[in-house]
Amino acid sequence: MLFTREKLEEIEDKNLAPYALRSKNSRGRLYPEDEAPYRTRFQRDRDRILHTTAFRRLEYKTQVFINYEGDYYRTRLTHTLEVAQIGRSIAVALGANEVLTEAICLAHDLGHPPFGHSGEVTLASLMKDHGGFDHNKQSLRIVTELENRYPEFPGLNLSWELLEGIVKHETEYDIADASNFNPELRGHLEAQIANVADELTYTAHDLDDGLRSGMITPEMLSGIALWEIITESVGWQGNILEEKSRHQIIRRLIGMEVTDIVQNTDLRLRESMVRSVEELQRLPYNVVTFSDEMRRRNRELKDFLYNNLYRHWRVMRMSVKAERIIRDLFEAYRTTPSILPRHVLDLTQKRGLERTICDYIAGMTDRFATEEHQKIFDPMRLP
């Protein structure tokens, strides 16, 4: 049997919950295009994201640990892939559109600059008088303007629903600005799933990487409720945490949290009695969320990670280096624009000097930014 786009849309209609988004009901794209014969709109969106330069660059952008600190730590790319996997699992369990959820997850960090949170804070400070910087907004700029891959239109010409999902991406550290995407409506079900998948993923894998690095030890976690529950459930005790045991603990943590999200969200959906996408978006609360008990346990673990990993002297030292690299590059480019590559300099007439510099730096990988800094400021390095 040949599965045409129409057939795939029929399968969506049959299998998805009434409050899930269907690709055939999409509000479409800004620039009209013929539909693909064997892919839905949302499948096409997902594929376009995967083929972007911005997506490939995530491989060499920091999550917590700088890329050259080790091959086993998460990068912004592996984080994104893990978010997508967890997002798909939650979407399938809740009857949401799995493909749209995956596409939002894959796009949610495209706008992150080099050096993780430190890079974003530094760029935001440098751009405070020039329109600001926020990685959510930068993700939207990338897919609507900066990725030039088609002669017919700028950006990727993604569907309205995917753009809405990117714009309404929110976690504890990311606040959405949805002024152009029905700000009175909450994110749709698939966007809400992407949000919690992101939060769940970075908490679990930051704990994993912290334990692997030795910055966090099992003794330090003693008394943390989630840690105690999980280690007891897998039968681990002691002070030496072997690799297999660490993997088992992190798997159990993710499994417990996904189960909590799915069960609690299912309960909230039933209680709300919503029967359409718009009804769900008009609720005064997000339906996709942890239970109150799990939220309290997560809060305790997040506070621990903040104080013991994100504020660890090794991470803080790299943050200081990152801030200096980005500030030095920004000021050098602004003071002497002629040192910018010609294709970048040519954009300043349209975008303005500071925004062009910001876009250029935000697109850099950790490695490229470090090498560029050395080329400009190390007199022994060739340009």
Name the DSSP letter for residue 338.
Answer: G
In the predicted model, is pLDDT for residue 212 greater than 70?
yes
Q: Give the closest residue to 14 by CA, choosing from 269, 43, 6.
A: 6
Q: Give the closest residue to 357 by CA, choosing from 131, 147, 157, 77.
A: 131
Least trusted range by pLDDT, from 45-59, 190-204, 272-286, 314-328: 314-328
At 286, the pLDDT band (50, 70, 90 cuts) reads: very high
* More reliable by pLDDT, 85 or 75: 85
Q: Tens digits of per-residue pLDDT, 90-117?
A: 999 999 999 999 999 999 999 999 998 8
Residue-level pLDDT at 74: 80
At 247, the pLDDT band (50, 70, 90 cuts) reads: very high
Using alpha carbons, list the distances in angstroms from residue 108 to 23, 77, 82.
20, 11, 12
Q: Tens digits of per-residue pLDDT, 22-64?
A: 999 999 999 999 999 999 999 999 999 999 999 999 999 877 6
C-alpha dihedral sign at 259, 262, 265, 267: negative
* More reliable by pLDDT, 179 or 305: 305
Q: Give the closest residue to 220 by CA, choosing from 198, 202, 201, 241.
A: 241
For the chain, which residues make up each domain, given as ranges?
A: 5-315, 316-377
Q: What are phi and psi of 75, to 5 degrees?
A: -110, 180
Residue-level pLDDT at 64: 65
How would CATH label the architecture of 5-315? Orthogonal Bundle (1.10)
Q: What are phi and psi of 45, to 5 degrees?
A: -60, -50
Residue-level pLDDT at 71: 46
Residue-level pLDDT at 238: 80
Q: pTM for this one?
A: 0.94
Q: What's the CA gap between 62 and 117, in Å, rounded?
A: 9
Residue-level pLDDT at 1: 81
Q: Which residues contact 307 (CB under 8 A, 6 or more apart)?
A: none
Q: Which residues is 75 bridged to in the sheet?
A: 62
In the predicted model, is pLDDT for residue 191 greater than 90?
yes
CB-neighbour burial class of residue 54 (10 A; exposed 0-12, middle 13-18, buried 19+): buried
Across 332-350, average pLDDT:
97
Q: Tens digits of per-residue pLDDT, 112-163?
A: 999 988 899 999 999 999 999 999 999 999 999 999 999 999 999 999 999 9
Q: What's the CA gap between 204 and 369, in Å, rounded?
A: 28
Helix axes 76-94, 98-107, angle to 10 degrees: 160
Residue-level pLDDT at 70: 45
> DSSP of 96-163, one letter per residue?
--HHHHHHHHHHTTTT--TTHHHHHHHHHHHTTTTT---HHHHHHHIIIII----SSSSS----HHHH
Side chain identity at residue 301, one-letter code? L
